[in-house]
Every structure is written in C-alpha cells, then in structure tokens.
Amino acid sequence: MIRRSFLKNSLLSIPILPASTVALNIAPLGKKPIVVSTWDFGKAANAEAWKVLSSHGKAIDAIEAGAKVPEADESNKTVGYGGYPDRDGHVTLDACIMDHNGNCGAVMCLEHIVHPISVARLVMEKTPHVILVGEGALDFALANGFKKENLLTPDSEKAWKEWLKKSNYNPIINIENKKINEPVAGAFPGSINNHDTLGILALDSSGNLSGGCTTSGMAFKMHGRVGDSPVIGAGLFVDGEIGAATSTGVGEEVIRCVGSHLVVEYMRQGNSPYDACKKVVERIAKRDIGKAKTIQIGFVAIDKFGNHGAFALQKGFSYAIRSENQEELIAGDSYFNS
C-alpha cells in the first residue's frame, strides 16, 4: 500500500508535455518573441519587425513591417524598388505571406508596386484566392489604394544595358551579400549581380508564427519567370503547431522538392530546425551533385518554441536574428565547405 501511494504521487508530480513537444524532442524553452531573416540585409528588416514584436504585436504584422524595409531600399538590387529587371527591362516582383493558421496570399510578376508583401497580405485577407499574377495583381493593388510607380532606377537600368551587350544568364552565388557595384570574384563573363530574396519568419509573444518572402527575382530572367519565393510550400511554409521555414537561392531547385514545406515536415518528425534544413539541402545536393556545386540554396527555420537554424549548399550564406537577448548575423553552415 505504501509503495502504491508513493508511485501514484510520483507520477502525479511528473509534468506532462504536449505530444508535439515530445515529437520535436525539444523542450519548450525557446526565447520568444523572435524574428529571423535571410542575408545580411535581414538585420534591417528584423529591426523594423522587432518594433512590432517587442510591443506584443502580432507576428503577421511584424512580417509585413520587416519585409517592407528592403522592398523600399533602392540600394538592394534583389528585392523591391531598384531591383534588377528581367531581360526585357521590366522590374517584376514576387511575394508571399502566411500565418499560423495556414492563411496565405501571394503575388507574382507584379509591376509598378513598391510593396508586394502588402499586396500579398491583402490577397490573403480580402479575396478567396491565394495567388494573383501580373496585370490582375496590379489591378487589385491599384483598386486597394497602392500607388503606381516606376521601379527601374538609373543604376539598375545601367546594369541591365550593360548585361545586354552579352546577354549571358549565370546566377552568382551569394550575390545578396555583395555590396552595390562591388566586383564579383570569379563571375562568369557577362554576369551581373544576380540573385534574390528576403525570407523572414517571426514568433510573437502569443506563441503564433508567421512568415513572408519577397523578391525581384533573378536578374535578367526571362519575362514571366517566377521562382520559389512566392510559392507557398517552396519559398515559404508555416505550420503553427510545428514551425516555419523559408528559402533563398536558385528557386527552380527549391520548387522541385517543395523545400520549405519539406523542412517543416522534417521538424514534425522530430528534427531540430538546423537538422531539418540540412536534410533538405542534402537531398537537393545528392539529386544532381554537379549542378549543386554551381548554385546556392539556403534554408532558415524556426520551431514553435523559438529555436532556429539554417543550412546552405555553399559557404557565404548568412541569416539575421533578433530577440530580447540577441541581435546578430549568423554564418550558416554549408554542404560544400571549400
């Protein structure tokens, strides 16, 4: 009788964790709120997002606020205003946004609007659709009060005209972190700064996740080309019960494996954000090792407790983090270490 009472009392004293916590094999001790985003310019995006999160605001509001920073920065040639055009001279923007309940919206091939992330959010909130493209997306934006503007800056137009002399299309690894007009070592003849994407993920003080992705796409792409950035499941995926992930790099390869969704599914199986990102990169590399050596792809992820991680094909990928106790850039590990 004494032994039975002891066992009963002992069992009652053991905390019972939610099943999802056990599945992730991670104790719910992560620091929240938190925001993470891709590349060095993610630090400025995080700073704006943190204004929302530190005031107990919603993650979805923080995502939009953060993404709008690089979209409006004309010195950033891979996102928004001032982004490099396609081969026909058109600046076309892509973006998507997603919350913890699976609500999402996206725009593709949107011209003349500085903040595609905000249009994507209105698609999510005001329409029964997930994606609007091209002229339809522009009409929707204008009908909702957005201003029509010329997004092609003199610097970007000059770079485009220089590219036209040879018209070679060769994406450059880690171009997001190159300074404007900085010579790119080892660049292929005719290549101009050519890459993409801000991916941003946030966890708010209520424990809710959201994410966003915004880009002007690959420089000098074919007119109408869309990469992974605005594709839910490829460039971004959020599951409020598990975590969120976003990608950057050559979008065609991310689409082929529905990369961000796959990262979240690996977290669902119990992998940490870091290990989940690593597993997806390994799958991409092993599918075509020759191609993998010539391109860059990176993933960033956070789980619902605020734990984060990243992994890329090549060295040079970075991500920014901001929380109550941390504000820094982190160099991501890579599959190819040379």
List of domains in the chain: 34-178+186-334 (3.60.20.30)
- Specify the pTM: 0.84
Q: What is the pLDDT of residue 19?
A: 30
Catalytic residue ranges: 197
**Average pLDDT score over the chain:** 85
The pair of three-digit structure tokens given for residue 236, joined into one six-digit string: 């971004």
Q: What is the pLDDT of residue 165?
A: 86
Decide if pLDDT at 70 tops 60. Answer: yes
Decide if pLDDT at 84 tops 50. Answer: yes
Where residue 203 falls among pLDDT bands split at 50, 70, 90? Answer: very high
Q: What is the pLDDT of residue 183?
A: 40
What span, in angstroms and rounded, lies between the C-alpha atoms of 46 and 62?
A: 9
Higher per-residue pLDDT: 19 or 264:
264
Higher per-residue pLDDT: 167 or 275:
275
Q: What is the pLDDT of residue 74?
A: 81
Decide if pLDDT at 187 tops 60. Answer: no
Q: What is the pLDDT of residue 31?
A: 56
Where residue 166 falls among pLDDT bands split at 50, 70, 90? Answer: confident
Decide if pLDDT at 175 tops 60. Answer: no
Contact 116, 107 (CB under 8 A): yes
Where residue 238 falls among pLDDT bands split at 50, 70, 90? Answer: very high
Helices (H), the chain: 2-12, 19-24, 42-53, 59-71, 116-126, 134-143, 154-164, 251-256, 259-268, 273-287, 289-292
- For 319, the 3-state DSSP assignment is strand
Q: What is the pLDDT of residue 180?
A: 38
Decide if pLDDT at 14 tops 50. Answer: no
What span, in angstroms and rounded, lies between the C-alpha atoms of 37 and 17?
A: 29
Q: What is the pLDDT of residue 1?
A: 43
Where residue 181 falls among pLDDT bands split at 50, 70, 90? Answer: very low
Provide mean pLDDT across the span 58-72: 96
For tokens 């870091």, the residue is 274
Across 68-77, 121-130, 155-164, 169-178, the highest mean pLDDT is recorded for 121-130
CA max distance for the chain: 90
* Contacts of residue 181, Cβ cutoff 8 Å, sequence gap at least 6: 155
pLDDT tens per residue, range 268-312 = 999 999 999 999 999 999 999 999 999 999 999 999 999 999 999
Smallest Cα–Cα separation from 273: which of 248, 306, 250, 297? 306
Higher per-residue pLDDT: 24 or 91:
91
Decide if pLDDT at 100 tops 50. Answer: yes
Going by their DSSP bridges, the two strands 34-38 and 318-323 should be labelled as: antiparallel
* Contacts of residue 272, Cβ cutoff 8 Å, sequence gap at least 6: 24, 25, 26, 303, 307, 309
